[in-house]
Structure 1
């Protein structure tokens, strides 16, 4: 654990000690006592991203004097090595989210690292364990605390960057598929399959025995979707791609759509769904006009994915841990950024430049 105490304070104390030693040679305890006083007066601090007001990326401030939190009785203190970057964190930062943290705060929901210390009632983890966590806030920092029930073992086969890609993306994908009651043998279209949630959804849907279609905006992203299990992929930047999706289903349509950008695609989604189809709205950045008659004539359901219940989170993370143990969950890490480049990461994820999971590295 590193300390960045006030250098000025240290200088003053050492100078005072030297002066006292020079004027009173018998007081040999001076240096030791002053050093003890200095150490006890300075708390251990860390690097962390702090937000003191809601707004654009400029409100993300790197600080080097944030007090390292102490774990409560049921908490684990983690030395963070990687933190995931999620779209929801940009919504919270901008103040455009239903539930906002108290200011100031440290952003970040997903972290992976090594246990540094544990609370008095924690028995399942110990110092040195490799773990990943799910948090409300606090991942964009060198250290973070998490309730022991929100901390999970990270196997050696997965890197810290992959660990930081596990919580929000896989939890979201699992809950989305469950809320739309996705079933084996059905066809699912993942509309935005190349980001963190999209890749997670591909892996879950394949494990469930579904036929998986995915869309993306680049040849590299589409290739990644195929490598992670998608049966067919379509470039949503190309005109006519919706017709190609229909052709791939023999004009029957798809059973389920996981939608990452509803304000752009929801109207067309309703046309792509077959009878009794369901669309899960995972992402949205504005308003959209739809024809409700589409839902009436085909008995369609539009289901929001957000504000997870405690039971949903518990079930989802159990599924994630099970998939890790069985070897079919392997997060795909995209672009990596140093912690001090967090503003660039927040710009990129909103600009739609994600291929795989964006991650902040915390050396």
Structure 2
């Protein structure tokens, strides 16, 4: 059997570290496997997971050298067995486990969405941010109309996606972000904003909610801040943790800097979480 390879240009992570470890190299990929399609990539998203992976901190990172990139937008050029032949020539956006920093990649057809070509230049910024926010808010957090949500890092990619979904649901939004982003966020319709650099977000959240707390917290901070996020909850409130940005400082992996944040995280066990909020209310 003749295996047909597609020549491409790719950006490799050659070792974990600063952006200097990224190198542009020629590569090749095989024809798509069954249920896969081959995409000629026009745009690739760059998200926080890519940065953490490059630093060697992402849980599902690969071993260097490898081609990173999880979000892609482009045109389908070939299909494998059992993949719809009608997809050839279609403009798509989607997610791949790696390989997005290239001009060709093979992706399972079910991980792609057909889009209007006019959205090609912005579509690659959508999948990770919006799917992450949607999964946390709808599938995990069960956010409902008239509930209150606290979104940490509301000025970031996932944060902006979350505020748009929350507005669609009809929830009240409280967000933390640096002061320089507040004007733009107010233009998006967010009234209750907290500058995490100069304000105690736990104190401000309780002031804004008149000590009721919030129904859902999206916590991208991790570390010691997680305990303060729990303290912001109303009775039977929920926390969705999706990041550890408080430890992602600098350009290189440094376990000595991470350890204080890691060990500062509160430890919760299932049988103690059940009554956590109720006990907290009794103590107030």
Per the TM alignment, residue 196 of structure 1 is displaced from its structure 2 partner at its CA by 1.0
Count of equivalent residues: 256
Is 45-54 or 258-267 further displaced after alignment? Answer: 45-54
Question: Is the Cα–Cα contact under 8 Å of residues 91 and 120 in structure 2 kept in the other structure?
Answer: no
Larger radius of gyration: 1
| 1:189 and 2:150 aligned | yes
Q: Secondary structure of the residue that 2:34 maps to in structure 1?
A: coil
Do residues 271 (structure 1) and 231 (structure 2) align?
yes
Inter-CA distance 78–92: structure 2 relative to 1 (3 Å threshold): same
| Change in 2 beyond 3 A, CA 1:181/1:243 | same
Check the 8 A contact 1:262/1:283 in 2, yes or no. Answer: yes
* C-alpha separation in 1, matches of 2:31 and 2:65: 18
TM-score, normalised by the number of residues in structure 2: 0.79
The equivalent residue for 1:167 is 127
Larger RCO, structures 1/2 (Cα 8 Å, 6+ apart):
1
- Displacement of 1:258: 0.3
Q: Mark the CA change 1:68 to 1:223 in structure 2 (over 3 Å): closer, same or farther.
A: farther
Which SS does the other structure have where 1:263 is aligned?
coil
Structure 1 residue 230 corresponds to structure 2 residue 190: yes
| 8 Å CA contact retained: 1:277, 1:299 | no
Mapped to 2, the partners of 1:225 and 1:124 lie a distance apart of 43
Partner of 2:258: none
1:45 maps to 2:24 = no
CA RMSD of aligned residues (A): 2.7
Match of 1:88 in 2: 49
Q: Is the 8 A contact 2:6 2:30 kept in 1?
A: no
Quote the Cα distance in structure 1 between the aligned partners of 2:83 and 2:279: 47
2:76 equivalent in structure 1: 115
The aligned residue for residue 127 of structure 1 is: 88
Q: After superposition, give the CA deviation of every residue in 1:299-346 in whole Å (9 maximum; x if it has no partner).
A: 499xxxxxxxxxxxxxxxxxxxxxxxxxxxxxxxxxxxxxxxxxxxxx
| Counterpart in the other structure of 1:332 | none
- Measured at CA, do residues 289 and 151 of structure 1 come closer, stay the same or move farther in structure 2, by a change above 3 Å? closer
Shift of 1:134: 0.8
**C-alpha distance in structure 1 between counterparts of 2:189 and 2:50, whole Å:** 28
Once residues 239 and 126 of structure 1 are traced to their aligned partners in structure 2, the CA distance between those partners, rounded to angstroms, is: 51
Q: 3-state SS of the aligned residue for 1:200?
A: helix
Q: Deviations over 1:158-200 (max 9, x none)?
A: 342x211221111111121121232222100001111111111
Which 4+ stretches in 1 moved above 6 angstroms?
Answer: none
Question: Unmatched 5+ residue regions in structure 1?
Answer: 1-41, 302-363
Question: How does the TM-score come out when normalised to structure 1?
Answer: 0.63
Contact 1:118 1:125 in 2 (8 A): no
